[in-house]
Structure 1
Amino acid sequence: MQNILIISGHPELTHSIANATILDEVATALPDAEIRRLDWLYPDGKFNIAAEQESLLKADVVVWQFPFHWYGLPGLMKQWLDEVFVHGFAHGSTAKLRGKKLILSFTTGAPQEFYTVDGFFGHAIEEYLIPFKTTARLCNLELLAPVYTCGISYADRDADKIAQQKTLARQHASRLVGMLKPFVNKTEGE
């Protein structure tokens, strides 16, 4: 079995519907996966860099789970990336992450149709992923296909909307687990 590490970058999981549901579903389906909820581990925003780097070193597959924030990582996860993915560890001649797989798993508030050339934002969602592709290349990570779900908005959350978001989140988690399952049954070096 390969080691799976999931980094949750949601800044406040206690206020989350989709990301919290995704993490709960994945934890149930893949109990051996390590899930690091940054907001719970570091409510003061002061990371234990050694612990974070050690988790990354043990992992074969790394998942970044987050809500798309201003077309990128939320502040907490960006800070984590800045402080943990330093030269000499994540990139450079003594980099240690080479060959690990990276999966971006995220939710957006805006609906899918906004993320098209003719949509409200004027860009496909894949265009917003260029910095992630560049980060993966710099760190010699193999970036796999992203798993994302659009239309998970915080606006107007009535009971029906919450139920719909939980359904979308469960479907998202199912897709993510489907991507991760082959690694669960795979031995290292295979």
Structure 2
Amino acid sequence: MKNILIVSGHPEFHHSVANATILDEVATALPEAEIRRLDWLYPDGKFNIAAEQESLLKADVIVWQFPFSWYGLPGLMKKWLDEVFVHGFAHGSTAKLAGKKLILSFTTGASQALYTADGFFGHTIEAYLIPFETTARLCNLEMLAPVYTCGISYADRDAGKITRKKALAREHASRLVDLLKTIRE
């Protein structure tokens, strides 16, 4: 059985609808997976680097769960990456993460239609993932296909829209769980 580590980079998880639903669903389906909610563990933003690196070392599969923020990682998760994935641990001649699998699992507020060459942003989601692919390559991680869901805005909070967001998030979680189960076997 593969050890699964899920790092949640939502900066304010208590305000989340989609990412909270995704993690709740994954925790129920895969109770053996370790889930690290960075904003809960480190409300002051001061990471325990040794603990974070130890969790990464134990993992065979690493999932980064986050809301797509300014076309990349939210600030809290970017800070975590900067401080935890240091030379000598994550990359370099004494790197320790080689061979682990990395899965990006994220949500976007904007709809899928906006993430096309002809859409508002002028780029596909995949075009925004090049820095992640480069990070994975530098760290000798095997980056698998991402699991993402577009159109889950944090702004609209009426009951009907929250119900729809939760349904999309449960579907997202189902796809992520299916992928993790396939890898685990």
The corresponding residue for 1:91 is 91
Residue 115 (str. 1) matches residue 115 (str. 2): yes
Q: Which runs of 5+ in 2 are unaligned?
A: none
The corresponding residue for 1:133 is 133
The corresponding residue for 1:4 is 4
Report SS of the residue matched to 2:129.
Answer: helix
* Residue 154 (structure 1) shift: 1.8
Q: 1:138 is aligned with what amino acid?
A: L
The corresponding residue for 2:147 is 147
* Residue 157 (structure 1) shift: 1.6
The percentage of counterpart residues that share the same residue type is 84
Provide the rounded CA distance (Å) in 1 between the counterparts of 2:98 and 2:109.
33
For residues 56-104 of structure 1, the C-alpha deviation after alignment (integer angstroms, 9 at most, x for no partner) is 0000000000000000000000000000000000000000000000000
Alignment of 1:12-161 (within 5 A): 12-161=12-161
Provide the rounded CA distance (Å) in 2 between the counterparts of 1:12 and 1:23.
14
- Provide the TM-score with structure 2 as the length reference: 0.99
For residues 14-67 of structure 1, the C-alpha deviation after alignment (integer angstroms, 9 at most, x for no partner) is 000000000000000000000000000000000000000000000000000000
Provide the rounded CA distance (Å) in 1 between the counterparts of 2:143 and 2:183.
15
* Residue 182 (structure 1) shift: 2.2
Provide the rounded CA distance (Å) in 2 between the counterparts of 1:154 and 1:19.
10
The 4+ residue runs of structure 1 with deviation greater than 3 A are none
* Residue 183 (structure 1) shift: 3.2
The corresponding residue for 2:169 is 169
Q: Which runs of 5+ in 1 are unaligned?
A: none
- Provide the TM-score with structure 1 as the length reference: 0.96
Q: 2:176 is aligned with what amino acid?
A: L
Q: 1:167 is aligned with what amino acid?
A: A
Q: 1:17 is aligned with what amino acid?
A: V
Q: 1:98 is aligned with what amino acid?
A: A
